[in-house]
Amino acid sequence: MSKFSKKCLIGSAVVLLAAWSQQQANALNVAETGQPLGVAFVYLGNPGDAGWTYAHDQGAKQLERDLGSKVKVTRVENVPEGSDSERVIRDLANQGDKVVIATSFGYMDSVAKVARDFPDVTFLHATGYRNGPNYTNYNARTYETAYLAGVLAGLTTKTHQLGYVASVPIPEVVRNIDAFEIGARSVDPKAQTRVVWINAWFDPGKEREAAESLISLGADVLMQNTDSPAVLQTAEEKHIHAFGWDSDMSRFGPHAHLASSVIHWGVYYDQAVTAILKGTWKNTSVWWGLKEGMIDLEDVNRSAVPPAAFSVFTERRQAMIDGTTRPFTGPLKDQAGQLRVPAGKPLSDADLLSINWLVDGVQGAVPK
What does the pLDDT average to over 59-86? 97
For the chain, which domains are there?
3-141+265-288 (3.40.50.2300), 142-262+294-363 (3.40.50.2300)
- Tell me the per-residue pLDDT of 294-349, one tens digit each, with 9 for 90 and over: 999 999 999 999 999 999 999 999 999 999 999 999 999 999 999 999 999 999 99
Which of 364, 330, 309 has its CA nearest to residue 161?
Answer: 364
Q: How confident is the model at residue 6 (pLDDT cuts 50, 70, 90)?
A: very low
Q: If residue 185 lies in a helix (H) or strand (E), which one and from where to where? A: helix 171-187
Phi, psi of 227 (to 5 degrees): -100, -10
Q: Are 131 and 272 in contact (CB under 8 A)?
A: no
Q: What is the pLDDT of residues 15-45, one digit of tens each?
A: 445 455 555 555 555 656 689 999 999 999 9
Would you place residue 270 in the very low, low, confident or very high pLDDT band (cuts 50, 70, 90)? very high
Higher pLDDT, 261 or 29: 261
pTM: 0.91
- Mean pLDDT over 243-253 rounds to 97
Least confident of 8-17, 40-49, 189-198: 8-17
